[in-house]
Amino acid sequence: MAFQIRTYNQIAPSGLQAFPQSLYQVAPDIASPDGILLRSANLHEVPLPETVQGVARAGAGVNNIPVTSLSERGVPVFNAPGANANAVKELVLAGMLLGFRHLKQALVFVDELDPSSPDFERAVEGGKKRFVGHELPGRRLGVVGLGAIGGQVANAARGLGMEVIGFDPGLTVEHAWRLSSDVRQAPNLEALLAESDVVSLHVPLIEATRGLINADRLRVMKDDALLLNFARDGLVDRAALLEVLGKGRLSVYVTDFPHPELQGVERVLSLPHLGASTVEAEANSAVMVVNNLRDFLENGNIRHSVNFPEVIMPRTDGPRLAVANANVPNMVGQVGTTLAEAGLNIVDLLNRSKGDLAYTLIDVDGPVPDRVQAAIQAIDGVLRVRRIPDVGA
């Protein structure tokens, strides 16, 4: 039987084409889907059927998905970290140029000139003196968060001759390897803010980062600094920002998240959430999450999940069990005992945990009867059990 996938947004055709028609039915009106594929649709108020095995967002942030309740049901949520990194990096560079070269004001100035005036050219030459800016080389960029996007921003800025300092207490080895050796590590966020001519934010919006740039941290920034937020609305305390701008501090705030309170505020440049709005980024994100959702549904493998650990195990010839459970002792032992009592031998096994959740893939040497699956599901702490057919079945 084909897997049923429900879409909630317009998904890039290259992503949809990654679903084999022989194995998948994909449509926006499927009532009992195995998987959900979306971009920006808000699922918090949408009842999700028990049939849902996995949810995949063609993008990085998952604020529009009820991750906590899905975790309690044993449902992984997939995203596409890094798929839009180049698109956001380019926009951050554009944001720096907007701020340093006063491009918005210059464009408005030219648009408002009278083209029929005999003094048009003289007005152009006379007016340009108001928009004298600064070049990037020699300026110091502070990058908060050095993941897929922040790392690319840091490397690109180094290539433009900027000095770069970064702060990311959760920097992974993988991302550290990709980072230019010239990027200097700040001892803390306050030190980065105090030293930087430009600050660019590249962290997720979670409880710990909400209002990350608050009144106290704005006070330590340079009076003529640029602040760029192409990450998430909510990282900057809006009331504190407006107070600082009202006192004539900060050169420019460039954000990808317009808000009524920021409209018409001098030295605020708002863009309509363009970070990932390129044909290439939308295609990259869609292809990545479709492939990950497929690997999960067809093989039980998990990669790029925001709530479950990464678990990738090559298939053997026989059936496979995928068990999602609370991260408590002796879960694997209880599952193994249940299989042994049913006369099933474990051929291969991989178990990983992430926070309060754990996930186990188990290849066995024979079919798993309904009663055995039900017995495993009945173990206290087991959230969900899936039987995955033999390869090619």
Domain extents in the chain = 1-83+279-304, 85-270, 309-393
% of the chain beyond a pLDDT of 90: 87
CA angle 287, 82, 62 (to 5 degrees): 80
CATH 3.60.21.10 correct for 309-393: no
Q: What is the pLDDT of residues 103-112, one digit of tens each?
A: 999 999 999 9
- Report domain 85-270's class: alpha beta
Tokens of 102: 């006063």
Span 193-221, pLDDT tens digits: 999 999 999 998 889 999 999 999 999 99
Contact (CB, 8 A) for 315 and 299:
yes
CB 269 within 8 A of CB 254: yes
Tell me the pLDDT of the chain averaged across its residues. Answer: 94
Beta bridge partner(s), residue 92: none
Give yes or no for a contact between 69 and 75, defined as CB atoms under 8 angstroms apart. no
Give the CA distances from residue 89 to residues 143, 197, 202, 281, 318, in Å, rounded to whole numbers and listed in that order: 12, 18, 10, 11, 45
261 counts as catalytic: yes
pLDDT (average), residues 109-120: 92
Q: What Cα–Cα distance (Å) separates residue 111 from each residue in 99, 120, 220, 272, 345?
A: 19, 12, 37, 21, 76
Instruction: Give yes or no on whether 85-270 and 309-393 have one common fold.
Output: no
CB 282 within 8 A of CB 12: yes
| From 158, 178, 267, 273, active-site residue | 273
Query: Which of the following is catalytic: 139, 232, 294, 320?
Result: 232
Pick the residue with more confidence: 154 or 169? 154
- The 10s digit of each residue's pLDDT in 224-260 is 999 999 999 999 999 999 999 999 999 999 999 999 9
Amino acid identity of residue 38, one-letter, is L
- 8 A C-beta contact, residue 235 and residue 212: yes
Question: What pLDDT, on a 0 to 100 scale, did the predictor assign at position 259?
Answer: 96
* Known active-site residue 273: yes
Q: Considering the domain 1-83+279-304, what is its CATH architecture?
A: 3-Layer(aba) Sandwich (3.40)
Contact indicator for 237, 261 with CB cutoff of 8 Å: no
Does the annotation mark 259 as catalytic?
no
Q: Report angle CA 212, 93, 222 to the nearest 5 degrees.
A: 50
Note the pLDDT of residue 1.
58
Among candidate residues 125, 135, 243, 261, the one labeled active-site is 261
Tell whether the model's pLDDT for residue 169 goes beyond 70. yes
